[in-house]
Amino acid sequence: MLANNETGTIQPIAEIAAKTRAHGSLLFCDAVQAAGKMPIDIFALGVDALSLSGHKLGAPMGIGALVTRPAVVVPPQLLGGGQELGRRAGSENISGIAAFAAAAKAAMRDLNDFANLAELRDDMEAALLAVQPQTEIFGKHADRLANTSCFALGGLNSETLVMALDLAGVAVSAGSACSSGKVSRSHVLAAMGAETHVSKGVLRVSLGWQSNREDTEKLVDEWSKLAGRALAAE
């Protein structure tokens, strides 16, 4: 995974690829979360194949891409036709492909502007810490995508926070996957050593090209009120 989908941390893929290649193995990279948020070059990364998904760039759901080095042979899973260079039989999703291409071009054009979101994110995190110094910012000291923040405060509940913030007009998500309406503990945060009582209250904030300081200030304000009430009730 080039960039983690919960914390936004960027992994040392080129270093991993060099070690993989030294042992004569192939390396596949999930670049879905990173696409449109940082430069991606399959040759600079040194991987043999990487995957992309259009909906992360603003294209419709259901369109993606598998990018491979020229010498990499990928056996087809669907046989019967020569579409997609013989790798996937069946009529192509032409409208999805066109939308994906347009979104990718727009994302490439706006990469520098997207990088500026890091300042907005950092100021938001500083404000959260000013209100609740015990707040944990996951991946704070690592290389991260400019738009991603994952934070938590012990004693809070992610599911409750997400619903309450939604009612207040703030759209965020829990840092972990939601299954059957229940928010489970994040395996990513568990691997990072986060204590259970902290990871139960994790939120992930993803800033977009329309996000502004008014948005982050509203999040901090609403979260602060919710956190204050929850901790006072303990």
What is 13-110's CATH topology?
A: Aspartate Aminotransferase; domain 2 (3.40.640)
Query: For the whole model, what pTM was predicted?
Result: 0.88
What is the predicted pLDDT for the residue at 234? 65
How far apart are the C-alpha atoms of 171 and 68, rounded to whole Å?
A: 35
Per-residue pLDDT of 108-160, as tens digits, reads 999 988 999 999 999 999 999 999 999 999 999 999 999 999 999 999 999 99
Residue 207 · residue 161 · CB < 8 Å? no
Determine the average pLDDT of the residues in 206-216.
93
Q: What whole-number distance in Å separates Cα of residue 25 and Cα of residue 20?
A: 5
| pLDDT at residue number 177 | 45
- The candidate with the shortest Cα–Cα distance to 187, out of 199, 197, 198, 179, is 199
Question: Would you call 29 a catalytic residue per the annotation?
Answer: no
pLDDT reported for residue 175: 65
Place domain 116-232 in its CATH homologous superfamily. Aspartate Aminotransferase, domain 1 (3.90.1150.10)
> What are the residue boundaries of the structural domains of the chain, listed by start?
13-110, 116-232
- Given 105, 178, 190, 197, which residue is catalytic? 178
